């Protein structure tokens, strides 16, 4: 079989991998490219495949950079099965409908697909359970918990005709996590396609709770705003869960309001509540005391008019808003107003891709461009890397070392620096062929 890399090759977005032979074509993920204009323009490139000829699609999880181009398949005639866990299917519905809604209302971006095409795509989803054997002619596929977000999976594809096994890591979590179960390991595989987002990083041992509390207490003293750009899936739920504890045990003032200004974040939080069997041990314990994400002082912002009102308020407050890398959404509207204030604190709690506003701020920019306007940055910017939902270098290498009989490893879903660093680290203890594919390159499996 051949594998063609249709995204996340030298970058962290656009994940997609096409396995093909004369008899079959299988696709793992079809994610959106996210970042600057040049990167996002890749979403408009015609797919180098015939959608109706695909035998099946296997989705690792519901982040936009893994599922965001799936409706393009439906638009181009694909009517086969899209396999995913039940939780992934529900989150994907929220993510894809939100993407279609944003496209429809943004004159500066192309409409890649419509709401109707998203609904058609969702009808193709076929729910699967972890460890269930999925059989299609010549192949067996098994999903393992990747410990990344609710419903996330690593995928094992067994090629029965060639007696070979291919393992796709998906996005591996920063195990152990509060919200989801730990990573499940894979026993054996000939070829591994592996993420490398933090391939050059060891996450710090700092205590994220202490850092978040410090930021909150500072704005409580200065009557400022703590602005948190947050991914709607997983990161928002982690923050809400932590703030519930802070309110309950007095680490923040009971009167300090928290605004969740993320319609999709609200929707996904409700989805999380449907799958308590997928929670990690800590969160499962908390569900006995009621809703693990709701607390006194939490206010859900319903529409843009309300969002503008919240942005203009005085007094200490916390605003959690999307998008997580500050590439769009309500976080940018708050940033326009609040970054020029010296009593604003911006807390970055997730990965910031190259060429995003979030990355520029994290790297210390004193001026950024938002909606064509130059914005002076007087706000204090702090990053917490220990909250990442992505595995760091030690977790990545440990995951790979659990897999026996590996002869070839493709490093994907990482910028070139982290990929090269992870390659060198793996080669210190493992004699395998390691490849760093580029966009639309094809290799033998």
Give bridge partners of residue 282 from the DSSP assignment.
Answer: none
| CA 216 to each of CA 212, 219, 343: distance values in angstroms, whole numbers, following the listed order | 6, 5, 12
Neighbouring residues of 358: CB distance < 8 A, sequence distance ≥ 6: 229, 324, 325, 326, 327, 348, 352
Distance CA 284, CA 229 (A): 26
* pLDDT score of 346: 97
Distance CA 241, CA 260 (A): 13
- Nearest residue to 259 via CA among 185, 205, 210, 313: 313
Convert the pLDDT of each residue in 309-337 to its tens digit.
Answer: 999 988 899 999 988 899 888 999 999 99
* pLDDT score of 12: 93
* pLDDT score of 44: 95
Q: Answer whether 19's CB lies under 8 Å from 444's CB.
A: no
The model carries a pTM of 0.92
- Given the structure tokens 């989805």, which residue do they identify? 271
* pLDDT score of 304: 87
Distance CA 207, CA 56 (A): 43
What stretches in the chain show pLDDT beneath 50? none
- Given the structure tokens 């911006």, which residue do they identify? 346
Neighbouring residues of 255: CB distance < 8 A, sequence distance ≥ 6: 297
């Amino acid at each position: 079989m051949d594998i063609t890399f249709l995204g996340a090759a030298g970058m962290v977005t656009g994940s997609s991998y096409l396995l093909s032979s004369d008899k079959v074509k299988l696709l793992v993920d079809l994610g959106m490219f996210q970042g600057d204009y040049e990167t996002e323009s890749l979403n408009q490139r015609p797919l180098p495949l015939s959608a109706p000829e695909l035998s099946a699609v296997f989705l690792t999880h519901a982040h936009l950079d893994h599922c965001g181009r799936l409706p393009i398949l439906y638009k181009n005639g694909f009517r086969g099965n899209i396999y995913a866990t039940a939780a992934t299917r529900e989150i994907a519905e929220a993510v894809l409908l939100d993407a279609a809604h944003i496209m429809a209302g943004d004159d500066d971006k192309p409409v890649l697909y419509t709401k109707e095409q998203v609904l058609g795509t969702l009808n193709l989803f076929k729910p699967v359970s972890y460890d269930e054997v999925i059989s299609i002619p010549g192949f067996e596929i098994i999903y393992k918990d990747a410990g990344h977000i609710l419903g996330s999976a690593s995928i094992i594809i067994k090629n029965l005709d060639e007696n070979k096994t291919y393992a796709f890591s998906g996005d591996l979590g920063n195990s152990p996590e509060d919200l989801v179960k730990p990573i499940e390991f894979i026993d054996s595989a000939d070829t591994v396609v592996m993420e490398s987002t933090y391939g050059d990083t060891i996450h710090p041992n700092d205590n994220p709770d202490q850092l978040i509390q410090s930021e909150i207490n500072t704005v409580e003293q200065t009557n400022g705003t703590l602005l948190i750009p947050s991914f709607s899936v997983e990161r928002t739920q982690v923050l809400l869960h932590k703030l519930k504890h802070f309110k309950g045990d007095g680490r923040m003032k009971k009167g300090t309001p928290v605004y969740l200004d993320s319609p999709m974040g609200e929707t996904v939080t409700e989805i999380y509540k449907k799958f308590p069997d997928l929670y990690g041990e800590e969160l499962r314990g908390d569900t006995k005391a009621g809703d693990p994400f709701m607390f006194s002082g939490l206010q859900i912002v319903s529409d843009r008019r309300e969002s503008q009102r919240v942005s203009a308020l005085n007094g200490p407050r916390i605003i959690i808003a999307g998008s997580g890398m500050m590439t769009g959404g309500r976080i940018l509207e708050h940033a326009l107003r609040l970054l020029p204030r010296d009593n604003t604190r911006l807390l970055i709690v997730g990965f910031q891709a190259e060429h995003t506003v979030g990355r520029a701020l994290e790297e210390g920019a004193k001026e950024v461009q938002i909606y064509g306007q130059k914005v002076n940055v007087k706000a204090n910017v702090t990053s917490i890397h220990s909250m990442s939902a992505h595995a760091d270098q030690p977790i990545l290498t440990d995951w790979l070392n659990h897999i026996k009989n590996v002869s070839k490893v493709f490093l994907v879903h990482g910028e070139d620096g982290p990929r090269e660093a992870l390659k060198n680290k793996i080669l210190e203890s493992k004699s395998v062929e390691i490849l760093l594919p580029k966009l639309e390159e094809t290799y033998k499996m």
